[in-house]
Amino acid sequence: MDLLPRAYPDQVGLAAASTWSGYALGYSAVGGDVRQTGMEAGYAALDPERYGLSGEHSPTGYKVVLGRERPLRLDCGVELGPYTVAYQTYGRLNADRSNAILICHALTGDQFVADPHPITGKPGWWDIMVGPGKPLDSDRYFLICANVLGGCMGTSGPKEINPKTGEPWGLSFPVITVGDMVRAQAELLDHLGIGDLFCVIGGSMGGMQVLAWAAYYPRRVFSAIPIAAAGNHSAQNIALHEVGRQAIMADPDWCAGDYLRQGRKPRRGLAVARMAAHITYLSEAALQRKFGRRLQGRAAVTYGFDADFEVESYLRHQGSTFVERFDPNSYLYITRAMDYFDLAEEFGGTLVKAFDHTPVRFFVVSFTSDWLFPTPESRVVVHALNAVAANVSFLEIETDKGHDAFLLEEPELHRVMRGFLSGAGEHRGLKGP
């Protein structure tokens, strides 16, 4: 039986009901498995175009309001509801709803995986991977990505309006975890009538969500691809996040988290947080190759504190553009969620128990130059999977691009992704849309 998240203890046993577009969606224990019931009638009641299931693409994405009748029980003990989930889809859901792939985004990502960003106009953050004929082929798969709980692109978070007060949540928004993000995604899929997933994939914090999906809902996940991730957040990464949070909170315009109501924004603090974080996404070799000690538009140093070096100018640009599209409080909340992530702790102190008897097919990927989530942390996950005789493949890709390699042109990653998904599709008996 699936080990259901502790937020839903009432689901362990014979049955539990939730609401889904006016229909009962139950969970029944059958032969040691947890199966959803009542989905056919509910799915037929949905408008496929309205919810992004028909193959017709909306560049602005979709939103649903969930938790009206049964709030989402958060790990902090708060019941959140109603709450909004903003998401985007690519491709068409096939007749038996077996070709769905959930893409989980990283800390500063969002649902606009392969669309121009609605604020910056820049290409989608994984446009290189998602689309017709690409490894995540929208001609074959139905791809869905939801802005995480606590985010700032339409899903409920500190930037959004608290329906009970009519004002921005700010720091009154409850602290969330990676587990909460995953449970909100599961509720979204229930609402859309997607009982299980062909694959869950994501890098960095997205990879954490992938591992949580496989641990919480193993019967709903056929395959899982965690990239550049880990089963918990290391002390070093917690420390790096704390530097960023303190930079934001030290900015006078943070206003103790109440800047939205006061018409201000801690731009300088958020920019510094982004600059510091961005260094961790690269490698020393990549920085040296891209910038070295080259000066920025000048023949000699100025003996001052302007951006003499190209690398300084690059980081300042990263910081200044980031503040236009991201909410400072969301940065606090999401980094804290990553810090709290410890899958082993949730399962009695050992990662092995998180995957005991798992039927999920895993493909774990790491990069040689990633010092944020280094390969040994991926090997810990692989060893836990090996201990329970799980179906797992592991690849460490040789590259000097650092942690962000999964977002960049990395031919070996694209090649092996195609191969893994093709093989998984054959075992699944996957049919096209």
Q: What is the 3-state secondary structure (H, E, C) of the chain?
A: CCCCCCCCHHHCCCCCEEEECCEEEEEEEECCEEEEECHHHHHHHCCCCCCCCECCCCCCCEEEEECCCCCEECCCCCEECCEEEEEEEECECCCCCCCEEEEECCCCCCCCCCCCCCCCCCCCCCCCCECCCCCECCCCCEEEEECCCCCCCCCCCCCCEECCCCEECHHHCCCCCHHHHHHHHHHHHHHHCCCCEEEEEEECHHHHHHHHHHHHCHHHEEEEEEECCCCECCHHHHHHHHHHHHHHHHCHHHHHHCCCCCCCCCHHHHHHHHHHHHHHHCCHHHHHHHCCCCECCCCCCCCCCCCCEHHHHHHHHHHHHHHHHCCHHHHHHHHHHHHHCEHHHHCCCCHHHHCCCCCCEEEEEEECCCCCCCHHHHHHHHHHHHHCCCEEEEEEECCCCCHHHHHCCCHHHHHHHHHHHHHHHHHHCCCCC
Classify residue 170 as left (phi > 0), alpha (psi -120 to 50) or beta: left
Catalytic choice (137, 180, 339, 370): 370
On whether both 80 and 110 belong to a single domain, the answer is: yes
On whether both 402 and 354 belong to a single domain, the answer is: yes
Q: What is the pLDDT of residue 234?
A: 97
Assigned domain for 322 exists: yes
Q: What is the pLDDT of residue 431?
A: 74
Question: CA dist 223 to 101, 183, 351, 418, Å?
Answer: 9, 18, 18, 13
The answer to whether 140 and 91 have CB atoms below 8 angstroms apart is: yes
Assigned domain for 21 exists: no
On whether both 321 and 345 belong to a single domain, the answer is: no
CATH number of the domain to which 94 belongs: 3.40.50.1820
The tally of domains found in the chain comes to: 2
Determine the structural domain holding residue 213 and report its residue range.
50-232+341-428
User: End of a domain among 279, 295, 329?
Assistant: 329
Catalytic choice (75, 233, 403, 404): 403
Assigned domain for 404 exists: yes
On whether both 68 and 92 belong to a single domain, the answer is: yes
On whether both 385 and 349 belong to a single domain, the answer is: yes
On whether both 187 and 274 belong to a single domain, the answer is: no
Task: Going residue by residue through the chain, which has 433 residues, state the pLDDT in tens, using 9 for 90 and above.
Answer: 333 334 333 222 222 233 323 223 333 222 333 333 334 334 434 577 888 888 889 999 999 999 999 999 999 999 999 999 999 999 999 999 999 999 999 999 999 999 999 999 999 999 999 999 999 999 999 999 999 999 999 999 999 999 999 999 999 999 999 999 999 999 999 999 999 999 999 999 999 999 999 999 999 999 999 999 999 999 999 999 999 999 999 999 999 999 999 999 999 999 999 999 999 999 999 999 999 999 999 999 999 999 999 999 999 999 999 999 999 999 999 999 999 999 999 999 999 999 999 999 999 999 999 999 999 999 999 999 999 999 999 999 999 999 999 999 999 999 999 999 999 999 999 876 6
CATH number of the domain to which 281 belongs: 1.10.1740.110
User: End of a domain among 329, 358, 384?
Assistant: 329
On whether both 319 and 247 belong to a single domain, the answer is: yes
Q: Is 21 a catalytic residue?
A: no
The answer to whether 54 and 201 have CB atoms below 8 angstroms apart is: no
Assigned domain for 249 exists: yes
On whether both 204 and 287 belong to a single domain, the answer is: no
User: End of a domain among 305, 329, 353?
Assistant: 329
Please list, in sequence order, all residues whose beta carbon lies within 8 angstroms of the beta carbon of residue 312, skipping any fewer than 6 positions away: 296
Assigned domain for 286 exists: yes
**Following CA atoms 300, 304, 306, 307 in sequence, which dihedral angle do they give, to the nearest 10 degrees?**
50
On whether both 174 and 80 belong to a single domain, the answer is: yes
On whether both 142 and 273 belong to a single domain, the answer is: no
Assigned domain for 30 exists: no
Q: Is 370 a catalytic residue?
A: yes
Assigned domain for 16 exists: no
Calpha distance 353→388 (Å, rounded): 8
Over its C-alpha atoms, the chain yields an Rg (Å, rounded) of 21
pTM for this one? 0.90
Q: Is 356 a catalytic residue?
A: no
The answer to whether 159 and 333 have CB atoms below 8 angstroms apart is: no
Catalytic choice (204, 283, 369, 378): 204
Assigned domain for 181 exists: yes
On whether both 127 and 223 belong to a single domain, the answer is: yes
On whether both 263 and 209 belong to a single domain, the answer is: no
